Amino acid sequence: MSIVGGPVMRAIGETARLTAIATFNDNTTRDVTAESSWTSANANLFSVSAGLVTVVGYGLGEIRASFGGRTGFRQVAATPPNTFIFYGRAREPGMSGLPSVRVVETGSNRSVTTDAAGDFQIAALASARTFKFDKDGYENTEIVPDTPQGDTIFVESAMQRVVRLAAGQALTNQSLAPHDVAYVIGSDSCYPCRLIRVTTITSGTLRLTVTGPAAPSLHLWVNGRRFDSTGSVLSADIQVAAGEVPTYVGWDFPLSAGGTGDYSNFSLSTSINGS
């Protein structure tokens, strides 16, 4: 079962004709538009009757046609001339899409909230500067979208839970994986990466020790400084003031031995010699 047709529509109330094509066991096909049951998965954006789609609101939607126990799907789009539909997902690496994330496009200041699957869309944008993703308990992220090449642009952001660690404590079994979170640190890029907010109640020398797979691609960033490993253990001593010390741990992919499948675990221990 397939659905054909449906160019990008440009105005509320505009219509487009879709055709449902059934393929039978003998590989013959037939137009079953009039015999199919038609539904819109996004009734706030599109209505449909006997294959005729009408624009109710701007955005992306899915039209379904069912016939003989089979269902076909077709994505349809509507946005004014010279504008684009930016759509995508907020997700937690190794998990699923994140619901209730506030997504703001900074140029227009338009905002939406991700749905239960972590999906969002903003239509009728002439351009987009930066998308900001914000959710309580997660590190905020910013994404600069690609230059539009068509009517739709996909934007995805991986979001990390906030991790705080008091100096003198340790973290174990922290995982990094392909398609994980990325951070820009000065002129450097940490990907895949984990941000750990180490807090100290006194100034002094903070020692950070990361243990992970034996690889020269293990990196640690603290107070703008980068430290690289020569084995499976990487230590750094940093003079710090009392307060929060953002600490980034990352690997270069492909991972070396020591990971599980595509994942790699690490541990971080901390100590402070107060002054």
For 172-205, how does the pLDDT look when each residue is reduced to its tens digit (9 = 90+)?
Answer: 988 887 789 999 998 888 888 999 999 999 999 9
Q: How far apart are CA 47 and CA 163, in angstroms?
A: 45
Domains of the chain: 2-78 (2.60.40.1080), 84-158 (2.60.40.1120), 164-274 (2.60.120.380)
β partners of residue 142: 132
40 CB-near residues (< 8 Å, 6+ apart): 46, 47, 48, 53, 61, 62, 63, 64
pLDDT tens across the length of the chain (275 residues)? 999 998 899 999 999 999 999 999 999 999 999 999 999 999 999 999 999 999 999 999 999 999 999 999 999 999 999 999 999 999 998 788 999 999 999 999 999 999 999 999 999 999 999 999 999 999 999 999 988 778 999 999 999 999 999 999 999 988 887 789 999 998 888 888 999 999 999 999 999 999 987 655 789 999 889 999 877 899 999 999 999 999 999 876 554 444 444 567 899 999 999 65
Which of 107, 177, 118 has the alpha carbon at shortest distance from 144? 107
Identify the residue whose tokens are 């020269």. Answer: 216
